[in-house]
Chain A
């Protein structure tokens, strides 16, 4: 079993929809959680970073962490075609390397 699991998709939604992206993990020592957006043939871009359970909001993006269930989510409100990309979750302990999920491919259709 991989440390971080993520549905690879592809996920296709109409413009304006609310998108929910999810990851589960097995290592209870993970304390820091990140979401990256990666456009085709580009490097990943850090979208959200959080280290506590609960919600963190930044514009149209909300990151949610549930440490008791070992489950994290990224919500995108009012999705736009420019949100079409691969979204990677990532997490780490306080002293170790970042572990990435395989990514979910998202297409927002105009």
Chain B
């Protein structure tokens, strides 16, 4: 079982602010992912990484960016938050073919 940590768990922020959502895992997994999920809706893949210095955009267009400088760390950044960014952001990593999720960050942009 993977240990995946996300901070903050909840964030309320004003329009135009720059924010970084943190995700880290302690198991040395190469593959990491960011999903966006609105309440009661399906998961949408927005970014993924297959290793250090590797990042790709997912299936859903997103104004966020990611970086992967260390294996264990995969932060997501919004340069200028907007109300349309209000959502839950879920980080995941893969051990073999099994994908494990963090607890999520619930972001509200006012």
Contact = CB atoms under 8 A, between A and B. Distances in A.
Interface residues of B, number: 21
Interface string A51-70: 10000000000000000000
B97 A51 contact: yes
Given A97-B48, A100-B42, A41 B98 contact: no
Interface residues of A, number: 23
A34 B98 contact: yes
Contact of B100 (A42, A46, A102, A103): A46
Contact of B99 (A41, A98, A105): A98
Secondary structure at the B interface, as helix, strand, loop or mixed, is strand
B109 interface: no
A25 B98 CA distance: 19
A88 B37 CA distance: 13
Interface of B: 33, 40-43, 45, 48, 58, 88, 90, 92, 94, 97-104, 106
Interface of A: 32, 34, 36, 41-46, 49, 51, 86, 88, 90, 92, 94, 97-98, 100-103, 105
